[in-house]
Amino acid sequence: MGMEGTTETGENDQATADLPGEGAGAEPALLTREGMQLSRKGRHAEALDLFTQALTIAPTYIPAWVASGFALGKLGRYKEEIKACDQALALDPTLVDAWINRGFALGKLSRFSEKLVCCERAIVLNPSSAQAWNARGHTLGELGRYEEELTCTEIATSLRPRYLGAWVNRGYALMKLNRFREAVSAYTRALEIFPGFAAAWVNMAIAYCHMEEFARAVSCFYEAELLRPLENPRSLYWKGVALSRSGRRREAIAVLAKVVQDDPRQADTWIELSNCHFMIGEIEESVRCFMIAYGIDKQDIKDNLSQAVTLLREGKKEEGVRCLSQVFGILLR
């Protein structure tokens, strides 16, 4: 199974427009200023009403379009956020914040190639924008280009050393590159900035699992759960692994049982359960769990082989080889 995503901070890292100055005087500026103050308090729906009022009075007032896009994104209305950013950019194509926010919305819609274009436009306009570099890095990670993601996060943290989202995304890239000890260092830095970021604790725990430092992994999971319950199946799986390899197998069984209850087709979890039951002498249950995993693997092997043959016949060599790699990964488990 994979690791819990580390994009909470990075991907939610929208840019906020500057507050209009007190001396702006005009009603649209005052409405926008009041709306942005509400938005910073998390009252985005109320803020959006004020931005709409400002734009009704002055349809070309750029700060209201940028702020409107930000609020729409916070409300999950990403297609509308893109339209608001487009309005702002039609008025001024040099708006870095609008390019960043447009990219944010495209990313939420899984349109990563388009998001990358927005990030690169923002960097051309302002090469010192840590937000733009981090957003570009996050996008490259979503496209599987982890070395480039790492480079972007290094630039972002050099520009803004206390940039939480960039440190977390840096840790994620390092984990995807199997550089787990460096990932732990990145997550440690993130947690020095904000100890209350549960996802960083979880991902550091997973890194420790890969390093076979299971007691430390268990401690990290404990810290994460002080902040919020573990509900993500991936997080629960790795917690189960950490407990199992620390000799706490009955606790591991209780955790892993939640994973297969949520998704019975998790073969890795059934294998781990089988090992736990075997080690505490519950042989029949161990065999049962193993046979379930075997049944899942057998079907997955058949499906992946069939898909690989189809892709190779269609000339899609890269995708076909990827399917074959999945088969070999199952056989070697």
pLDDT digit string, tens, across residues 218-251: 999 999 999 999 999 999 999 999 999 999 999 9
Burial 98-125 (b: 16+ CB within 10 A, else e): bbbbbbbbbbbeebbebbbebbbbbbee
Q: Is 192 contained in some domain?
A: no
Q: Is 279 contained in some domain?
A: yes
- Residue 149: count of CB within 10 angstroms of its CB: 27
Which pLDDT does position 153 carry in this prediction?
98
Q: How confident is the model at residue 22 (pLDDT cuts 50, 70, 90)?
A: very low
Which pLDDT does position 25 carry in this prediction?
41
CATH number at residue 298: 1.25.40
The average confidence (pLDDT) of the chain is 88
What are the helix (H) ranges across the chain?
8-11, 27-40, 44-57, 62-74, 78-91, 96-108, 112-125, 130-142, 146-159, 164-176, 180-193, 198-210, 214-227, 233-245, 249-262, 267-279, 283-313, 317-331
Q: Whole-angstrom Cα distance, residue 216 to residue 214?
A: 5
pLDDT in tens, 98-127: 999 999 999 999 999 999 999 999 999 999
Q: Is 292 contained in some domain?
A: yes
Q: How confident is the model at residue 314 (pLDDT cuts 50, 70, 90)?
A: confident
Give how many domains the chain has, as a whole number.
1
Tokens describing residue 67: 């702020």
Q: Is a pLDDT exceeding 60 seen at residue 29?
A: yes
Q: Is 331 contained in some domain?
A: yes
Q: How confident is the model at residue 76 (pLDDT cuts 50, 70, 90)?
A: very high
Q: Whole-angstrom Cα distance, residue 296 to residue 298?
A: 6
* Amino acid, single-letter form, for residue 221: F
Q: Is 278 contained in some domain?
A: yes
Q: Is 186 contained in some domain?
A: no
pLDDT in tens, 154-199: 999 999 999 999 999 999 999 999 999 999 999 999 999 999 999 9
**What percentage of residues in the chain have a pLDDT greater than 70?**
85
Q: Is 274 contained in some domain?
A: yes
Q: Is 302 contained in some domain?
A: yes
Q: Which domain holds residue 299?
A: 264-333
Length of the chain: 333
Which pLDDT does position 297 carry in this prediction?
63
Q: Whole-angstrom Cα distance, residue 147 to residue 153?
A: 10
Q: What is the end-to-end Cα distance of the chain in Å, rounded?
A: 12
Q: Whole-angstrom Cα distance, residue 153 to residue 237?
A: 28
Say which residues have a Cβ less than 8 Å from residue 292's Cβ, sequence separation at least 6.
264, 270
Q: Is a pLDDT exceeding 80 seen at residue 298?
A: no
Q: Whole-angstrom Cα distance, residue 197 to residue 286?
A: 36
Q: Which of 202, 201, 150, 196 is nearest to 173 (CA)?
A: 150
